[in-house]
Amino acid sequence: MEFQPLGCKINDGLNSLLGKWKIPVLIQLRANAKMRFSDIQRSLPEITKKMLSQTLRELEEDDSVARKVYPTVPPKVEYSLTPHGQELESTLDVLHVWGLKHAAHLQSLQKKSEKIKLSRKNPLHSFENLVYYYLLEKRARRCQ
């Protein structure tokens, strides 16, 4: 599929994934075919019950997550990825790989920046370090 800037639907896809808890919930449901509400909450201890309910409801509305209610007392509810939600698995894999590379990239930039700061304390720092620091600063200003 060729990328067409004018017909780009990335935002449509991102709207279904944006939110602090949507991707973590999808990852948990990917790792475990079926999960009860309490299991998801245990796997994500920082999420509140209200936020988990809201996130699951939104994912259900987007047809990424299926909710199955069993007619038992007390009621038993299981959540799982729908076939449409399973289509996200390759996207989540790509995002995971990019996230690892991005973290390593940021760490290397931080190390280089720290080296430059140390060399700046030395009045005899090299011309290369000055050029590199200038380019880093210029790049940081451009990204803001």
* pLDDT recorded at residue 133: 67
Q: Which long-range contacts (CB under 8 A, 24 or more apart) does 123-130 make?
A: none
Residue 77 has pLDDT above 60, yes or no: yes
* Dist. CA 49–CA 58, nearest whole Å: 14
Among 59, 87, 115, where does a domain finish?
87
Residues 76 and 115 occupy one common structural domain: no
> Which domain, by its residues, includes 124?
90-143
* pLDDT recorded at residue 124: 46
Residue 1 has pLDDT above 60, yes or no: yes
Tell whether 53 is covered by a domain. Answer: yes
The number of distinct structural domains making up the chain is 2
Among 87, 114, 130, where does a domain finish?
87
pLDDT in tens, 20-70: 899 999 999 999 989 999 999 999 999 999 999 999 999 999 999 999 999
Residues 15 and 79 occupy one common structural domain: yes
Residue 140 has pLDDT above 80, yes or no: no
Q: What is the pTM of this model?
A: 0.71
Nearest CA among 46, 43, 55 for reference residue 17: 55
Residues 75 and 105 occupy one common structural domain: no
Tell whether 135 is covered by a domain. Answer: yes
Residues 14 and 81 occupy one common structural domain: yes
Residues 63 and 100 occupy one common structural domain: no
Tell whether 4 is covered by a domain. Answer: no
CATH number of the structural domain spanning residue 56:
1.10.10.10
Residues 83 and 97 occupy one common structural domain: no
Tell whether 22 is covered by a domain. Answer: yes
Residues 59 and 80 occupy one common structural domain: yes
Per DSSP, 37 falls in state H
* Residue with more model confidence, 54 or 130: 54
Residues 65 and 96 occupy one common structural domain: no
CB contact at 8 A, 28 and 35: yes
Question: Which amino acid type is present at position 112?
Answer: K
Tell whether 54 is covered by a domain. Answer: yes
